Amino acid sequence: MVPDILDNYIADNEATNGDGGGIYYRSFDNGAVIRGNTVINNRAGDHGGGIYVGHVGDIGYLEVEVSWNLVFDNYAHGSEITGNSGGGMWFWETNAWIHHNTVVQNTGDGPNSAYGGGIVIERPGSPLVERNIIALNLKGGGIWCGNGATPTIQNNLAWQNAGGDGVGDCPTWWQTNGNIVADPAFCDTLSGDFHLHQNSPAITHIAGPLGVYPIPGCGPVPVRPTTWGRLKTRYQ
């Protein structure tokens, strides 16, 4: 059976010694959809604090859609055996379509600071990663890929991911293919509101909107006019 996991609120769960604190999906059947979920404050003792997706078997790659999810404040503590954790999301041998997710303030823990705080793409497979916001992840970097993974990463926004926006075998993904590094201008991170200001670069991006919320949740960030003289006085 191929599931559709749609429009759920998944919070405060824990896989103490294993994978997939919030959602665990591992299969050899293609076509599953994980869409429209809010995945908050889940923990995994190994991989995929928020969402874990993996292929079963020795032949082929899992085809699955993971889209329009808010993945926030999840934690994973990866083992040294794999060298990654995936605080927000973890993918194993997939050709997943990963789009329009907001992956924010997750923690990819482990023996070092490059274990994949936002998204991990592990082992051979060619996922398409597009139109996501990967921002403010607290440890492990934004996107980690390696061990034969060949993802296409395009038209995403990265911002202030502790450990670097790219780690593993994709350290510079954010420099090409329409990817940008910019403040996403969330409405109110302190209260957990990750809707976007009207003039957010995720809204105005040529391939936008990016992330889980396509409609602005608050007005434009104010821009104050200034002069060179005022700037010199301020920062003298």
Distance (Å, whole) CA 157 – CA 153: 11
Instruction: Give pLDDT tens digits for 141-197.
Output: 999 999 999 999 999 999 999 999 999 999 999 999 999 999 999 999 999 999 999
Please give the pLDDT value at position 233.
Answer: 57
The pLDDT value given to residue 134: 98
What is the rounded average pLDDT of the residues 21-25? 98
Q: Per the structure, how many domains does the chain have?
A: 1
- Would you state the pLDDT for residue 226? 52
**CA nearest 23: which of 127, 101, 136?**
101
Q: If pLDDT is split at 50, 70 and 90, which confidence band does 83 have?
A: confident
Whether residue 230 is predicted with pLDDT greater than 70 in this model: the reply is no
pLDDT at residue 228 greater than cutoff 70: no
pLDDT, residue 36, reads 98
Q: How far is CA 232 from the centre of its chain?
A: 39
- Give the mean pLDDT of 188-216: 96
pLDDT tens-digit readout, 89-130: 999 999 999 999 999 999 999 988 899 999 999 999 999 999
Give the pLDDT mean for 37-46: 97
Residue 50, domain extent: 4-234
- How high is the mean pLDDT of the chain? 93
Predicted confidence at residue 81, as pLDDT, reads: 80
